[in-house]
A = this chain, B = another copy of it.
Amino acid sequence: MAEKRTRIVVLGGGFGGLTFCRSFRLPDADILLVDRHNHHLFQPLLYQVATAGLSASEIAQPIRSILRDKPNVRVHLGEVESLRPAERQVVGNGRTLEYDYLIVALGGQTGYFGHPEWEAFAPGLKSLEDAQRIRRDVLMAFERAENSEDPVEQQRLMTVVVVGGGPTGVELAGAFAELARHVLNRDFRRIDPARARIVLVEGAPRILGTFPQHLADDAAATLEKMGVEVRCGLRVRDIRSGVVEFHSGERIEAGNILWAAGVNASPLTRDLGAPMDRTGRVLVNPDLSVPGHPEIFVIGDAAAIADASGQFVPGVSPAAMQQATHVARQLEDEISGRPNRRPFRYWNKGSMATIGRSAAIAKIGPLEFSGYPAWLAWLFVHLVFLVGLRNRIAVLGQWFYSYVMYRRGARIITGKA
């Protein structure tokens, strides 16, 4: 039998898939990375594109240039349509790709708790297109308010409701409050954007449930000081065009409603025929392989795995990257003839959320802090992990400019409303 090169197919060019491709060291395997976008997206800063702080190309980097010096990695731009684990095949764009090993790193998508019809009225924030759409819609609402002569209509158009009090919801609400109060405030003649109403809605009794109580309290107080209405214990019953209704009977009319409340795994994970949790994440083996399919691994937001303490590993980029490296090491050993499957261990480096200019909260190991130091830490971490030297410089420049001048540059409306 002739020597055959091992074929590894990686689905998804996010933090997980890309880290796998970059950290896999054996030259005698062919890796094919499939993604429907030509860019890797720095998700943690996506909310800044939605709130006109950064432009799309500053938080995205072409996948091909990231993998430029990996000769055994090919990139295939295309949509995956189905997985055929029994045949060891992936189908997409009318083609069938064969693999010896499959790495599923497809991430998640916005989840509406069984109400997909809400998506049309309350978009989520997962892609650059989402971010550009939200930016366009919110800026257009202020333009419509300026053109309107009805004060009730003006106030409705200037209302933004953010559903979901996790880090993304907090970041969006804070950034919109700053946009309205400090950037748009002198742009208009008939409306006063400082009177914009930004409402952050959370179903649980407090926001930022994954952070310690006192940090969440700090964040809530900062948001209120910035003019955000923080409403906890309010559960959404229905969303229609321009209206959110809550189980309490309350309803809020808003020019824009944004959804930051739920994430589901990519629906393609269903094709694996493996056990899943209720958000569609695959309950993987300790070595991150799929039960019954030692040749398939799921990493990142699409994988459900408990850490040493019995808690599920959170859907954050450091977890995806650690999982990618774990799988890469296992496969290198296996392909080199030294199979050595071992359980994945998550090293929690901490978590952070930014609330606005000079304000953030951070929990790093035993350290818990908030305010300006946390914001500096947030800035530092995000700049260090942003892919691409050019983007790092551009983003730093934008932030410096925004910080000093209190003006946002990227508030350009493109595309059809």
Contacts and interface: CB of A to CB of B under 8 A. Distances in A.
A234 interface: no
B65 A407 contact: yes
Nearest to A78: B147
Nearest to A68: B186
Interface string A389-416: 0110110011001000101011111110
Given A55-B58, A393-B397, A397-B394, A65 B129 contact: no
Contacts of A393: 397, 401
A106 interface: no
Interface in A179-205: 186-190
A37 interface: yes
Nearest to A129: B414
Interface of A: 37-39, 55-58, 60-62, 64-65, 68, 71, 74-78, 93, 95, 128-129, 132, 139-140, 143, 146-147, 186-190, 388, 390-391, 393-394, 397-398, 401, 405, 407, 409-415
Contacts of A413: 37-39
25 contacts: A38-B139, A38-B413, A39-B412, A55-B55, A55-B58, A56-B56, A57-B409, A64-B187, A65-B187, A71-B189, A74-B190, A75-B146, A76-B146, A77-B147, A78-B147, A93-B147, A128-B412, A128-B414, A129-B414, A390-B405, A390-B407, A391-B409, A393-B401, A394-B397, A394-B398
Given A93-B147, A189-B74, A397-B394, A414 B132 contact: yes
B391 A56 contact: no
A77 B401 CA distance: 27
Nearest to A69: B186
Nearest to A127: B414
